[in-house]
Structure formats: structure tokens, C-alpha cells
Amino acid sequence: MNFSAARVDEHGGEVEETPTMPAEVSWEMLDKSRFFVLGAALFSGVSAALYPAVVLKTHLQVAPTPQAAASAAAAAILRRDGPRGFYRGFGASLAGTVPARALYMAALEATKSAVGSAALRLGVAEPAASAAASAAGGVSAAVAAQVVWTPVDVVSQRLMVQTSPATSAHYRGGADAFRKILLADGVRGLYRGFGVSVLTYAPSSAAWWASYATAQRVLWRAVGPAHHDSRGAAMAVQGASAAAAGGAAALVTMPLDTVKTRLQVMDAAGARAPAPTTLAAAARELVREGGWAACYRGLGPRWASMSLSAATMVTAYEFLKRLSTKEGEGPL
């Protein structure tokens, strides 16, 4: 989309003004092969860096009684499993990250391009068209990615907490966990929590991308057009916009994420007590255990992880798009 502003002169004609933010790389401008290959490498590295925070958050969410602090839970993991405890299930998670991210990026960019162009043709103002396109792209991307990500999430989370007091299950690795879940519960077991995952991530992703687009516009207006060609300014604006959007999304979606995690991990076959099988039952049990505050167990690690992940992922993502631009197209 072209983010330039226009005004009407005294004769009724439009006068093009300085763009309010740098030109965006659209889906049509991308070399798709390069985009997916480079994207897989970039996001695998980011996932590896942030995985310990995900493990810590998951342990806090499934703990039978509230931990005093995230630091206490981290110390318990270190005592029980050593540093490798923070990477339990990482292999299974990484195996699913590549196809899930590919689906996410393809759905996001294709939807943003289609919806944004349609909105502009209908006469919608560009800021509103950009926000609507980003929100629609976020929804379609989240739903598409969950088709792959939910089974990966179920397997990797079981591996993360198998040495925790909250469960008695034991797996020899990702393939073994996949086989046992499939034998015990069928395909349905691998998609445990799919509905609540979509319910959590689709609106979250819509709000995130719409907020990100709006925050970028506001920050670029403050920075000024003189810095549009500055790589440093671009990274700072994108990182700050993404971190703010990620932190807000973490706060809003935390209760649903906690319930989803417990549904996926604390099944009857592995947990020490009978596990709830529905969203409502899991939510009631969680509130009964620790009150409404229990819905926010692990908020600190999740807030930090989502804010840092958002800033890192988006900075890498925007850089990736520029690296993947076809020869002769897109911004310099």
C-alpha cells in the first residue's frame, strides 16, 4: 500500500504530499521461494532464543498450586532437569515451526494485500484500509497456522512438563509423545484445545496487526519523513510498535491461554488427578484452585516473551521482506 497523504488545492485538484511512512513491501513484490527459505532460518533462530520463557510460562500454568514467583519455578526446573530442562520439547516445536510460520506468513500477506486493495477501491480512507487489512490478515494467519501448530503445541508442551509434579506422564521424545497421544485419544487428542487456540489467537492476531499498523503510522509521523530511508529508524519504529502490541495482546489473552495450556497438558492419561475435558470445566477448576488470579499465572514470562518476541520477530520479518523482494521492485 502507498502511505502518502494528499490535500486538495484551491482549484479542487489533489496535491501529493510527503508520505507519512516508508513504502511497504507487498505480497506481489516478494520472491516466494527466497521468502520462505530465509524465513524458516530467521524464525527458527528467534524461537530458539525465546523458548526458555515459553517453558517457564507452561510450568507456571499447569502447577497444581501457585508458584511464589517465576524465579522459584525457574530454579525448580534447573534443580530437577538442569539447563536442558528449558529446552524440553524444542525439537518437536521446531519441526512444526517451519510449516506453521510458512502458512502464517502466506495467509497474512495474501489476505492483507487482497483486503487492502479491495478497501481502497471501495473508497475507504487509507489509514482505515490499512488497519482493516492488517486485522483481516491477522485472523486468517492465526487460523491457518493453528492447523499445524495445535498438534505441535500439544506434543511440545507435554514434553516440557513431563518432569513436573503436575503430571506423571513420561515420553522418550517427540515421536513417542505423538504416538502415545494418537493411540490414547486419536487425532482428536492432537487437536485438544484447537477451538480455544483459535478463539485466543485469531482475535489476538487481528488486534495485534491492526495495533501494529496504527502504532507504526503514529510513530513515523512523529519521527518525520527525513528518516524514512534510515534503517536504524525503521528498526526502532517497528520494534517499539511490535513490543507495545505484543505486551497488550499478552495481557488480554492470558486467561484463555492458561486454560488452553491446561486442557492440552493435563489429560487424564498423564495428570495425577482427573482432568477437565471442556473449556468451561477447565476454567472452573482453575478458578477453584487459585481464584481469578490463577488465570494470570505465568503472565510475567508470557508478557516478556510476547513483547520481546514481537519486537524481534517483526524486525526480522520486515527485514526478511526486503531481502526477499524481487529484483527491480519494492523500496530501496
DSSP 197-246: HHHHHHHHHHHHHHHHHHHHHHHHHHH-GGGTT-HHHHHHHHHHHHHHHH
Mean pLDDT within 310-326 = 81
pLDDT band at 120 (very low <50, low <70, confident <90, very high): very high
pLDDT in the model for residue 118: 93
Which pLDDT belongs to residue 8? 45
Confidence check: pLDDT of 11 > 60: no
Task: Report the alpha-carbon distance of residue 114 to residue 204 in Å, rounded.
Answer: 21
Which among 139-153, 202-216, 222-236 has the top mean pLDDT?
Answer: 139-153
Name the CA radius of gyration of the chain, rounded. 22
What are the start-end ranges of the E strands in the chain? 4-8, 14-19
Mean pLDDT of all residues in 15-19: 51
Residue 111 has pLDDT above 90, yes or no: yes
Whether pLDDT at 136 is above 90: yes
Amino acid present at 57: K
Give me the residue spans of the domains in the chain. 32-324
Q: Which of 126-135, 212-221, 224-233 has the lowest mean pLDDT?
A: 224-233
Please give the C-alpha separations between residue 37 and each of 113, 162, 194, 309, 319, in angstroms, as whole numbers: 21, 33, 27, 20, 14
Instruction: Report yes or no on whether pTM surpasses 0.85.
Output: no
Q: What is the mean pLDDT of the chain?
A: 80
Give me the mean pLDDT over the 136-152 stretch: 91
**Among 5-19, 155-169, 199-213, 246-260, whose mean pLDDT is lowest?**
5-19
pLDDT, residue 66, reads: 62
Q: Please name the residues in contact with 120: beta carbons below 8 A apart, sequence gap of 6 or more.
A: 1, 126, 129
Query: What pLDDT was estimated at residue 121?
Result: 92
E strands, 4-139, are 4-8, 14-19
Q: What is the pLDDT of residue 269?
A: 41
Of residues 77, 78, 47, 40, the one with CA closest to residue 62: 77
Q: What are the grid coordinates assigned to 254, written together?
A: 492470558
Residue 166: band (very low, low, confident or very high) from pLDDT cuts 50, 70, 90: low
d(CA 115, CA 105): 15
pLDDT at residue 68 greater than cutoff 50:
yes
Q: What is the mean pLDDT of residues 88-114?
A: 87
**Mean pLDDT on 177-196:** 88
144 versus 253: the higher-pLDDT residue is 144
Looking at residue 122, its pLDDT comes to 92
Structural domain 32-324, CATH architecture: Alpha/alpha barrel (1.50)
